[in-house]
Structure 1
């Protein structure tokens, strides 16, 4: 064997060894990849994704896709070689693990958290869409969870409606927090709650919070709404998180208004939405834009808070337009369908 052949053989063996080591060495990161898209104007498992009962609905035409991101599972480790491959792929991103999964988070805990955020996004989408349609949507305060062994344990139940605290009617979550923390620990709070169609009056003794000593009774209040229309959203149970909210709201609005908003166009997007119709930023914007472009979407609605990241995404021929509200999302679609695109914003906005 010549010296050159020997050198090449040794180098080759070293490369193989390095690759083998890299494939075994785990790193504290996760990978974001373009995920599947789902048409919110279409069907899932044989039923319409958006179903309305109690109001007139209209035919839609076109495809309105929510977009998703594939993420390394909470119970999976990422090896160095896979991380390097993802880093070299412009459509994927390598993200510090702690930004996605707090230390000790299990796959089941992550699934439950994402499912809860999805449920919240669906509720906000329903409220935002109905308010845009002119409906009055009364608010209420619900008991979300009760801490075990807290004063409220055994007194309050998840799903209870908090009507009054110390004789004062509450209209929002902060009203409840303010009324309880106005007490000194050890004092009692009187609450009127709604449960199973009945109103109950309960008295609960407060205790001191461990972190700051404020009075608490040990439950989590969350906003709720009395919807005048029954809306249900059925989607792949593997989808989670809050980022489909804006697209859900547009789908509801399109379903409940005459004429086809999309007029046969293929539109996609993402964005968290508040009950007031404000669109908030989300994670994985570049991967979602790439997924929508690969699926053939013509227009992508992106939260304006994600503009700095969206501008570098692989969007191909697809137009990416930032939006800040549900009103702006609908008006952007209308302008795009009508060919009035000259005044549409671009990132960075």
Structure 2
């Protein structure tokens, strides 16, 4: 066999061997890629994403698209070839597996956490939008979770509204712990509550629940043994003066909060926030309208531009990363609050694009 032929054959065999090894050997990485975008002003699976009843709404136009990121599942075993391809591809990002699934988190645990964050983001979006319109929203302290095997199990339930502890009115979740820990382990503490089912019925009728009952619990020691507990986690809930439903399945995490809030604002006010333009964006939002950072910004930009977006509302904390690799034809608008977003949308409507707050890579 000629030497040249033998060399080529050997090289081919080495290449085949390396490819086989690359395919067979798993690596501790996961992949992120652009997910679908959804117009909060439009429909998903045949029904409006935002459904408002009990309050006048107005026609809308254009797009206020929330954006998503697809990620490989917790149990997906990426091989070396896929990792290299992902590193080279422009429309995907390969990251350490623990970045997406820390501490050995399972797919089920991750999905549950994302669902809870998504639900909370919807509530905060509603509160932020209504407060922007000076529409009163009632906030109340509720039982968020009950720990199994503690004094509260079977006596308090998630969703119960906590009006008072030992006769002292509570205004924030932290008040509950402060009042309980005034006791020594083994002492009784009295909760005044509105049962969850009563509170839900009153909320549905847009009325204030007046039926309360007292629940006496014998405190026990914390795991550290230095304070009294009853075994609940207190949280907050909101009562809205009319019904706002967000109908969107198979989406998780808190990053759609800003776009939901803007969609609600658009439907509750005359005219169009976008004046028919295609605006996409992302960002968490809290009850006060503060916009927070999110993960996967590069993938969301790609997904938004592919869908047709011309402008992208970008959390201030994500601006540097977003500006370092912005798809052509997409203008990044820096936002830190819901007020920033509405002010920028007003500038767009007026054609004043020169004064838009832009993201910079520096």
Q: TM-score with structure 1 length normalisation?
A: 0.95
Q: Over residues 284-324 of structure 1, what are the superposed CA-to-partner deviations in whole Å (9 max), with x where a residue is unaligned?
A: 01100111111110100011111221122332111011101
Q: Which residue of 2 aligns with 1:255?
A: 267
Q: How does 1:179-198 map to 2 (within 5 A)?
A: 179-195=179-195, 196-197=197-198, 198=211
User: Displacement, 1:178?
Assistant: 2.3
Q: How does 1:158-177 map to 2 (within 5 A)?
A: 158-177=158-177
2:110 and 2:59 map into 1 onto residues whose CA distance is 37
Q: Give the secondary structure class of the aligned counterpart of 2:340.
A: helix
For the 8 Å contact 1:28–1:97, the answer to whether it is kept is yes
For the 8 Å contact 2:298–2:325, the answer to whether it is kept is yes
| Pair 218,129 (structure 1): closer, same or farther in 2 beyond 3 Å | same
| Pair 200,313 (structure 1): closer, same or farther in 2 beyond 3 Å | farther
Q: Which residue of 2 aligns with 1:290?
A: 302
1:80 and 1:181 map into 2 onto residues whose CA distance is 53
| Pair 78,181 (structure 1): closer, same or farther in 2 beyond 3 Å | farther
Does 2:67 match 1:67?
Answer: yes
Q: How does 1:213-252 map to 2 (within 5 A)?
A: 213-235=226-248, 237-252=249-264
For the 8 Å contact 2:344–2:357, the answer to whether it is kept is no
Q: Which residue of 2 aligns with 1:341?
A: 353
RMSD between superposed Cα atoms in Å: 1.5
2:307 and 2:143 map into 1 onto residues whose CA distance is 41
Does 2:330 match 1:318?
Answer: yes
Which residue among 213, 238, 242 is the counterpart of 1:200? 213
| Pair 211,322 (structure 1): closer, same or farther in 2 beyond 3 Å | farther
Q: Give the secondary structure class of the aligned counterpart of 1:152.
A: coil
User: Displacement, 1:283?
Assistant: 0.5
For the 8 Å contact 1:286–1:312, the answer to whether it is kept is no
Structure 1: 5+ residue stretches without partners: none
1:182 and 1:343 map into 2 onto residues whose CA distance is 55
| Pair 312,56 (structure 1): closer, same or farther in 2 beyond 3 Å | same
Q: Give the secondary structure class of the aligned counterpart of 1:55.
A: coil
1:218 and 1:286 map into 2 onto residues whose CA distance is 42
Q: Which moved more, 1:185-194 or 1:276-285?
A: 185-194
